[in-house]
Amino acid sequence: VIAGAAVFEPPVELKGEHLNVAKISESGKKQRKNWTLMWTVLTSDQLLFYKDRPQETGMKPGSKTDVVQLCGAITRWTTEKSSKKNVFQLTTNTGSEYLLQADGYSTASKWYDDIRKAIDSSTKV
């Protein structure tokens, strides 16, 4: 490692899976709901959404579609914001709002629990 050079540290990925994602607000401004199947990665303090699952070789930091900071975020289950089952919402401290969904309840609830834990530990710092 060259002293003083900026080194890209890839985030430690806790898990990655395809989830249905809809961004419904950006900085507090409502957006048209558009459900998309996204390769979703949880790190200790971020949620990363990729359009396609990055292959080992093609993994570039710039290829992320969306990066959500979990510090100060809030998550809760919702039955009002979608007719789909197993939907939870994630609101960031900058006022962006996402809906996340999986058809399997165990998948959705594992993600919900893990995101909650990441929010708690990254917000305490």
Q: Is 33 in the site for ligand I3S (CB under 6 A)?
A: yes
The residue (of 66 and 71) whose beta carbon lies closer to ligand I3S is 66
Tell me if 35 contacts ligand I3S by CB under 6 A: yes
Tell me the closest approach of the beta carbon of residue 11 to ligand I3S, in angstroms: 29
CA distance 68 to 98: 10
Does position 83 bind ligand I3S by CB under 6 A? Answer: yes
Other beta carbons within 10 Å of 3: 4
Q: Which helix (DSSP H) or strand (DSSP E) does residue 5 occupy? A: none
Using the contact rule CB under 6 A, the part of the chain among 7-15, 59-67, 78-86, 110-118 near ligand I3S is 78-86
What the block records as the tokens of 18 is 């395809």
User: Which lies closer to ligand I3S via its Cβ, residue 15 or residue 85?
Assistant: 85
Phi-psi region of 109 (alpha: psi -120 to 50; beta: other; left: phi over 0): alpha
- Cβ-contact 36, 20 below 8 angstroms: yes
CA proximity to 31, closest of 95, 101, 74, 111:
95
Q: Which is nearer to ligand I3S, 31 or 93 (CB)?
A: 31
Q: Which is nearer to ligand I3S, 75 or 82 (CB)?
A: 82
**Closest separation between CB of residue 40 and ligand I3S, Å?**
17
